[in-house]
Structure 1
C-alpha cells in the first residue's frame, strides 16, 4: 500500500512540474537557455522581438535626427528631416543588425571611463520603438562611440557595460538622409501583384489576378486579360528607379503643374496583399527638360517628384484593347446552366438537367448533349483576330444582329421541376453580325462593349442553321425484333422482305416481292441496324421544302411495318391501333458541302435531316440471297464447260482424294491449256459463287444480256438423282458481266465481275493456260 501511495505522489509531482513549466512559458518567463542567449546580446530586449515588432526608428547624429516610421509590412516612411518614402531594405537591415549585436566572446564587456570610448558624448544614438500603432513604447536604445581599427564601442542606454562590435554598424550610420530614401518606386514583385489599374488618355483598364493565377479584366468589361502583357508591364514597373541622388527633383511639392503631374500622362495602380493602405499609385508626368529619355513621376502616397528613365512608358497601353486577351469568352463550359440563342427569328432555349441537356424552346424535347457541349467549348475557346473600332467596319450587321448568344452559369436544374427564368445578367452575351466571306471573318460584339470583334468564320459550323439545331440527333430507334416487313424502293426496283417463320434458324429472312426467294441475311441485318439507331448528321430545314432537297422524288425509300403487338406497346397512350406500326424513310439528293451524305426525311416528322454515307450504303445492297448454287464443292462429280465450237467435260473419282488425280477428261475432250491441278480450287470457287447484284428478278431475259447464246456455259453435276447446276455467262460491259442460272429463257439475271470471267472465257477459247484464280473478286 505504501508503495502505491509513493507512486501516486511521484506522478502528481511530475505532472505538477510539467504544468509549472507550461505556465512559465505561457507567462513569458525566460528559460535558462533564453537567459543565457539574452546575456550574450548587446540589446537583450530585442532577443524575442518579431519581424514587425519595431514601428519607429530614431537616429540622433551630429545634432541631427533621422526618424523612420513603419507604414506596412514592407514600407517605411522617413518623417525627419523630410517626409519621404524610405528604403525598406536599409531600415530593416539596421534593425536586424541591432537585434543580432552580440558581445565579443573574447573581450566580453569592457570597463573604463566613458570618455575613453567616446561614449560620454556618443557619436550616434539609435532608439527603437514599438507597441501601439504610433510606436510610442521604447524597446531599446544603443549609444555608439568611437570606431578604431575596424571595431566600434557601443553601450546599451542605461547600462555601464561597454561592448566591442563590428565597425560596419557605425559605417551604416554615416549615410546621408538622401541615401536613406526609397529609389525603387514600385517595390512590389510582379508575382505578388493581385490587381493593376491603368489610366491613360481618358481610358481606364482594370485587371485582377484570380486565385488560380489567371488575369482577367474587370473594367470596362469582365473579359479575359492578356496575362503575358500584364506581367511584362508589372516587370517594367518594378524596374522603375530614381536616377541617383540627383533624380530627386523636388520635395514637399504643392504645385505639380510644372512637372505635368497635375494632369498625368498616365496613372498606374498596383494592388498587393503585402501593401498596407491600399494600392500603390504611380503618376507619370512630362519629359524632363533637356533629357528626352527621362520623365517626372510621383508616387501617390508621396508629395515629392523624381526623375526616372522613360523606358517603362512604352509598356503602358494607350488603348483599352492592349491588355485584352484574344480570347473572347470568360466562362466555364462545365458551369453553364442555360443557353439562349436568338437566330432566324427563333429563340433557342436550352437548360442543363442532371440527366443531360433539355431544349425548352422552340420545342420541349431532348437536346443533343454532344452538340451543346461542343457549342460551349467552341465559344469558350473563341479568339478574336482583331479588335476594331466601330468606324473601321462598314456595315458590321450588329444592329440588329444576325444572331445573339447568352449564357447563364449555375448548377443544373432538378429533374421534373418547372424551368426557372435566369436571374441577373448573363455570364456571357455575344452578338454576331455580317459574315465577310473574303476575309473569312464574322463580326461580333459583346454586350456593353464598343469594340467590334473580328472572329474566324470556322465557328459557323457550330451555329444554328435551322430551327432544329441542338435537337437530339437520334431520329429513330426501332427494335429489330419488332420489324415484320421491310420494303426498299429504288429506281426500277421495289423489294419486300419478311422474317422467315418457317426456318428453324434465328434471324432468317425471305424475299416476298418481286419474287419469292431467300433474302440476304447480312444485308437485311445492316438495314435493321440502321433503324435501331438512326442518327442525323445535321438538320437541314422543314419538310415542307421537299423539292429543294430532292425528297419529292426520292432516290431510295425504306418502308417498314412492325409487329402489331410490339407497335401497340410502343404507341403513346390513347393513340389509335395503327399508331407507330408503319414508317418510311426517304432519301433525296446529295447534301451540299457534305461529301457522301444525302438529305432524308421520316414520314410524320417535320424536319429534313442529313444522313452520312454509312447510313445510306446498306439501302443500296442486294436484298435477295446472292448465293447462285446450292451444290457444295465436295458433292460435284462432273464438270462441263460449253463454248461456241468447244466442249470440255471432266469426271471426278469417288471418293475424291483432294489431288489432281481426282479428275480425268472424258472421251473427246481437248486438253490443250487445261491444268487438272487447278480443278479442285476452280470447282470450290464456282460452287460458292455469289452475284454482285441482280439485274432483274424475273421475266423474259432480254436479248441484250447475251444469254440466249452464252459465251460460256458451266455445268456442275452432283447427285445423279438431281438435275445439274448450270451457269450461263453472257454480255460483258462496263466492268459487269450478265449471267443466269439454268437454261430457261426467263428468270433472274445477275451481275458478276467481268474481268475475272472474261479471263476464264478467253483462256478456254484460245486454249491457253487457265488463270490461277479466275473467280477472284
Structure 2
C-alpha cells in the first residue's frame, strides 16, 4: 500500500470519528444514567403525578378521601362529596413525589413510637393503577428543621426537611374548592343588580359597558371590570353545608343586601348565574347563596365595596367626552385670566399673541381634561347651579372645533372639603372633582416662553 502525505490526516480523522461515535453511543448515555441514578438516590418515591387516581389522608377528625373522575378532575369523596380544589390536590401529589431525604437514621426500625411513626402526624396513601404508596411523617428530627419520615414497606427511617410536614398537613376544608361563581369576567356581557330599593342593569355593547336601567348611558368601565373580576375571584372562607345547620341559618337570614345575576355569551350560547348576598353575624363577613342545594358560603365583607346601591358608582364618571384630535381651540376663563388657545400648523398659540408658548403645558392640559373623572357625587342634589358657583362658573374651559364652535364645556365652581363642584358635557351632571385639577390650568403668563437675551456682537480688537 502506497502511503501519501494525506495518510496521517485520514487516520487521525478516522480515530476522531470512532471516538465521537463511542462518546455518543456509549459514554454519554452511561454518564446520563449515572447522573439520574445519583439524582434519584435520595428520592423516597418514584411515580408520575398523573398516574395517581386516589388519595387518602388519615386525619384525627376523620378520614379524607379524594378520587379522580373520568374527566381528570379531582373530587372530594370523604368526609363529604363535593368538587375539589384542583391546585391544592396537585400541590399535595407533587410534594409527595418530590420528597427527598437528607440521611438515613435507622436501616431497620424496631420501635416506630421512638420516631413518632406509630401514630404519625401525617399519614397519606396515594393509589396508582399498579400499587399504593404510603407516607408516614412523625416527630421533629434531632437536627434543626428536620422531621422523621418513612415510606410504607421500607424498613428505613429517614430525615427530611421539616417544611414537608407543614405542607402535607391538610384538612377537608383545604381540599374543597372555594370558587363560588364559575364565570369568566372577560366573557360576561350583562350584569343585573337588585338592591332592596333600586335595581341596575348593565350590558356590554361593542366591548363597552353601558347602563340600561334605571337610565341609559355609558357606564364606568373600571367599575364594571373590577366588579366582574371580583365575582370571578369570589372565594368562600367558610361553608354551611346542607343539613340542620343549613336550614337554621336560612331561617335567620333576612332580605338579601343585593342579588347579582351575570350572563355570559359564547358562540351564541348563553349562561346565567345568580348570587344573593346577605348580612352575616360576623362583622367582617357576608353570606352568599347561589342555589338551594349548595352550601351557604361565607365571604369577606370587603367584596361588597364593588356592590353599591348608588347610581354614581356605575355611571361613566368622565366630565368631558370628546376626541382629543378634534380639539382645535380652548377658551379659558379663570378669576385672574381670560385667553384662548388655538391650534395652528406650527403648534399651539395664544390668540392675538405673537410670542411662542410652551407646547408641553397645553398638551398636558388636554390630557388631564380627557382623564378628568368625578371623584364622588354631590352630598345632596344641586337644584340651583348658581348656589355652588356653576352659573356663572368660577372656572370655565370650552373646547372648540376647527370652526371655533364648542365641542364641550367644563365648568368648575365652589370648593367643598377639598373638592370642587363640576359639570361637563356628559350625562353625569353635577359632581365633585379633586381640587388639584386647578393646578393643570396654566396661567397665561406661565404659558409664554421667556425670550433669551440677545448676545451683543463685540468688535474684534485683535488685528
Is this a same-fold pair by TM over 0.5? yes
1:524 alignment counterpart: 224
Q: What's the CA shift for 1:405?
A: 0.2
CA distance, structure 1, for counterparts of residue 271 and residue 119 of structure 2: 46
The C-alpha deviation readout for 1:425-456, integer Å capped at 9, x for no partner, is x6221222446899333443334566544332
Partner of residue 405, structure 1: 124
The answer as to whether partners of 2:112 and 2:118 remain within 8 angstroms in 1 is no
**Structure 2 CA distance for aligned equivalents of residues 461 and 524 of structure 1:** 39
Alpha-carbon distance between aligned partners in 2 of 1:682 and 1:700, rounded to the nearest angstrom? 32
Where 2:164 maps in the other structure, the secondary structure is helix
Q: Which runs of 4+ in 1 moved over 6 A?
A: 212-215, 390-395, 598-601, 615-622, 707-712, 719-723
Partner of 1:328: 44
Q: CA deviation at 1:690?
A: 2.6
Instruction: Note if contact 2:189-2:203 (Cα within 8 Å) is conserved in structure 1.
Output: no
Q: Does residue 640 in structure 1 map to residue 335 in structure 2?
A: no
Counterparts of residues 460-471 of structure 1 (less than 5 Å): 460=165, 462-463=167-168, 465-471=170-176
1:385 to 102, 106, 110: 102
Contact 1:371–1:470 at 8 Å: present in 2 too?
A: yes
Match of 1:664 in 2: 351
User: 1:440 is matched with which residue?
Assistant: 145
Question: 2:447 & 2:375 partners in 1: Cα distance?
Answer: 31
Specify which of 71, 75, 81 is matched with residue 364 of structure 1. 81
Contact 1:713 1:729 in 2 (8 A): no
Q: Deviations over 1:18-40 (max 9, x none)?
A: xxxxxxxxxxxxxxxxxxxxxxx
Aligned to 1:699: 380
C-alpha separation in 2, matches of 1:437 and 1:560: 56
Distance 2:42 2:285 in 1: 38
Q: Distance in 2 between matches of 1:512 and 1:429?
A: 59
Q: Is 1:358–1:366's contact at 8 Å kept on the other side of the alignment?
A: yes
- CA apart distance, 1:524: 1.3
Distance apart, 1:228 and its partner CA: 5.8
Structure 1 position 560 matched with structure 2 position 260:
yes
CA drift at 1:519: 1.5
Measure how far apart 1:688 and its partner are.
1.6
| Closer, same or farther: CA 657–682 of 1 in aligned 2, 3 Å | same
Aligned to 2:410: 725
RMSD of Structure 2 on Structure 1 (CA): 5.7
Structure 2 spans left out of the alignment, 5+ residues:
1-31, 242-256, 264-269, 383-387, 450-463
Deviation at 1:328, TM superposition (A): 2.2
* Corresponding position of 1:603: 289
* In structure 1, distance between residues paired with 2:337 and 2:364: 17
CA distance in 2, matches of 1:325, 1:609: 46
Kindly report which structure 2 residues correspond to 1:557-636, keeping only aligned pairs within 5 A, or say none.
560-562=260-262, 581-584=274-277, 602-603=288-289, 605-606=295-296, 623-633=314-324, 634=326
CA contact (8 A) 2:259 2:275 kept: yes
Corresponding residue for residue 367 of structure 2? 685
Q: 1:431 aligned to 2:112?
A: no
Task: State which drifts further: 681-690 or 434-443.
Answer: 434-443
Q: Match of 1:153? A: none
Offset at residue 465 of structure 1 (A): 3.6
Which structure has the larger Rg?
A: 1
Give the TM-score of the pair, scaled to structure 2: 0.59
Per-residue deviation, residues 56-79 of structure 1 (Å, max 9, x unmatched):
xxxxxxxxxxxxxxxxxxxxxxxx
Distance change in 2, residues 1:355/1:681 (3 Å): same
- Identify the match of residue 738 of structure 1 among 405, 413, 419: 419
The Cα of 1:534 is off from its aligned counterpart by: 3.8
- Closer, same or farther in 2 for the Cα pair 1:398/1:467, shift >3 Å? same
Question: 1:511 touches 1:623 (CA, 8 Å); kept in 2?
Answer: no
Q: Decide whether aligned partners of structure 1 residues 583 and 459 sit closer, same or farther in structure 2, where only a CA change above 3 A counts.
A: farther
Deviation at 1:664, TM superposition (A): 1.0
Q: What aligned pairs does 1:92-171 form with structure 2 within 5 A after superposition?
A: none
Shift in Å, 1:382: 0.3
Distance 1:476 1:742, change over 3 A: closer
Q: Aligned partners of 1:561 and 1:635: how far apart in 2? A: 41
Corresponding residue of 1:649? 339
Deviation per CA, 1:169-222: give whole Å up to 9, x if none.
xxxxxxxxxxxxxxxxxxxxxxxxxxxxxxxxxxxxxxxxxxx9799xxxxxxx
Q: Report how many residues are paired.
A: 374
CA contact (8 A) 2:349 2:357 kept: no
* Distance of aligned partners of 1:769 and 1:741 in 2 relative to their CA distance in 1, 3 Å threshold: same
TM-score of the superposition, structure 1-length normalised? 0.38
CA contact (8 A) 2:368 2:440 kept: no
1:348 counterpart = 2:45: no
